[in-house]
């Protein structure tokens, strides 16, 4: 019994008959209806790393609040939104923790929710992330959307559309719920889960030693049984004691095991593709070097992260600003720091910008988070 067949038997999956009895991929045909959910998927390191990479990036990117001033705009840090979205979401959770939780829910379940709490002045005071399993969105008879939330004591309370921040992975056909990438790509996720279970089962029951036992001459039945029992008893990470002149001769890796390892590598790339994360970002550095990894990272920040960031921008603008506030302020998830180059690259960029006249030294110092600089007696010094 090869590695994959044994692992499938261990998890209760039967092998379907195929036209080629030596086809190692036959067992995977029985995996289409296996358990795939947000919990089992996180057991696959590639999926966990993808969710972690995106949710951490979204959580650490600050939400900049700008006040419109004609054709220009100026950053403001005294707006309540700035504090709630960048510092403290609520008395129990930091803004980073809350954003990270909601974004992870979006990636694993297709939807992320948070209850909005406004002060007497109409400004956002706190926001509380919700467990997806406790929320039931619905379309009302009047065409609006409401959310029923089941509290820990079992009581159900209904919230209006303007009281809930709802972030979706991708809008579904009902116009209310988002589509979960885990559910949409169930087959690929199940394959990765089962491949991992193969490895776990193999090492849990004693790693298979690829080789043969060779003895001089023919063994009696009782001698065969002695060698078999001794080998099986001591194979779990220990050194077996061979009797009756038996000699162990290792063999090369079987084709099935070699394909299993290749399949594991492919699953990492497949999962990264589903979550739109470059494999190098999650530690899969096959066929990668510094140049390609850096370029793929920049592409991911400017393209792969752009959609979830704009999703947050637009949802917060719609739910957390009043009609007048939307005319006065604009919000932006400032991901520029993720694209910061090396000190040499930034110095060359700033030098070119100052030379061309569209930046000055004061703007450069602000971008580099340096204090203002005063000039005294012809010499520059920090203010």
Global pTM?
0.71
- The Cα–Cα gap between 367 and 270 comes to 38
**Cα–Cα nearest to 165, from 64, 276, 89, 67:** 89
* Predicted local distance difference test score (pLDDT) of residue 264: 66
For residue 268, the model assigns a pLDDT of 83
Please give the chain's pLDDT, 383 residues, in tens: 444 344 334 333 333 333 343 333 344 333 344 577 777 777 788 888 899 999 999 999 999 999 998 878 888 989 999 999 999 999 999 999 999 999 999 999 999 999 999 999 889 999 999 999 999 999 999 999 999 999 999 999 999 999 999 999 989 898 899 998 888 877 777 777 776 766 666 555 555 556 666 777 777 787 777 777 766 665 555 666 666 666 776 655 554 555 555 666 767 888 888 888 888 887 766 666 666 777 777 888 878 899 999 999 999 999 999 889 999 999 999 887 776 666 777 788 888 889 898 888 888 887 777 777 764 544 455 55
DSSP reduced 3-state for 145:
strand
E runs forming strands in the chain: 63-69, 72-75, 88-90, 93-94, 111-118, 124-130, 135-139, 145-150, 156-160, 164-168, 211-214, 247-250, 329-333, 373-376, 379-382
Q: Is 224 left (phi over 0), alpha (psi -120 to 50) or beta?
A: alpha
Distance (Å) of CA 285 to CA 61, 99, 268, 305, 338? 25, 29, 11, 20, 20
Residue 188 is inside which H or E element, if any?
helix 186-204
Distance CA 310, CA 330 (A): 12
In 3D space, the residue among 327, 325, 328, 330 whose CA is nearest the CA of residue 313 turns out to be 330
pLDDT of residue 21: 36
Are 4 and 18 in contact by the 8 Å Cβ rule? The answer is: no
Cα 39 from Cα 19, distance rounded (Å): 35
Report the distance separating Cα 281 and Cα 268, nearest Å: 11
CB 103 within 8 A of CB 54: yes
- At residue 157, the pLDDT reads 96
Cα 383 to its chain centre, rounded Å, is 43
Are residues 2 and 24 in contact, defined by beta-carbon separation less than 8 angstroms?
A: yes
pLDDT number for residue 224: 75
Q: Which two tokens stand for residue 56?
A: 């951490």
DSSP assignments along 207-243, one per residue: PPP-EEEE-SSPPPHHHHHHHHHHHHHHTTTS-PPP-
| CA separation for the pair 96, 89 (Å, rounded) | 8
* d(C-alpha 51, C-alpha 275), whole Å: 8
């Amino acid at each position: 019994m090869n590695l994959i067949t044994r692992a499938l038997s261990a998890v209760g999956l039967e092998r379907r008959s195929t036209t080629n009895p030596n086809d190692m991929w036959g067992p995977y045909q029985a995996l289409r209806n296996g358990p795939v959910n947000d919990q089992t998927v996180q057991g696959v390191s590639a999926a966990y790393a993808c969710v972690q990479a995106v949710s951490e990036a979204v959580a650490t990117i600050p939400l900049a609040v700008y006040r419109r001033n004609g054709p220009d705009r100026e950053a403001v840090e005294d707006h309540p939104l700035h504090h709630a979205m960048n510092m403290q979401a609520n008395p129990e959770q930091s803004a980073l923790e809350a954003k990270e939780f909601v974004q992870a829910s979006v990636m694993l379940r297709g939807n992320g929710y948070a209850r909005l709490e406004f002060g007497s002045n109409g400004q956002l005071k706190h926001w509380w992330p919700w467990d997806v399993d406790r929320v039931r969105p619905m379309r009302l008879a009047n065409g609006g959307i409401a959310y029923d939330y089941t509290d820990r004591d079992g009581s159900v309370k209904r919230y209006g559309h303007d009281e809930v921040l709802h972030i979706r992975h991708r809008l579904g056909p009902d116009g209310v719920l988002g589509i979960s990438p885990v559910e949409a790509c169930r087959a690929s996720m199940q394959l990765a889960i089962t491949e991992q279970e193969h490895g776990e089962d193999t090492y849990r029951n004693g790693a298979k030693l690829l080789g043969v036992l060779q003895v001089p001459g023919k063994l009696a039945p009782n001698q065969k049984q002695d060698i078999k029992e001794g080998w099986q008893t001591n194979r779990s990470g220990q050194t077996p004691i061979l009797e009756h002149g038996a000699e162990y001769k290792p063999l090369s890796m079987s084709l099935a095991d070699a394909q299993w390892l290749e399949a594991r590598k492919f699953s990492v790339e497949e999962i990264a593709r589903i979550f739109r994360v470059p494999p190098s970002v999650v530690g899969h550095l096959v066929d990668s070097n510094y140049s390609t990894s850096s370029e793929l990272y920049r592409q991911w920040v400017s393209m792969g992260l752009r959609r979830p960031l704009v999703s947050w921008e637009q949802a917060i603008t719609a739910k957390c600003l009043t009609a007048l506030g939307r005319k006065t302020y604009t919000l932006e998830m400032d991901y520029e720091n993720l694209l910061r180059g090396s000190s040499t690259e930034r110095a060359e960029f700033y030098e070119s910008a100052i030379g061309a006249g569209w930046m000055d030294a004061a703007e450069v110092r602000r971008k580099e988070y340096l204090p203002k600089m005063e000039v005294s007696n012809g010499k520059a010094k920090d203010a």
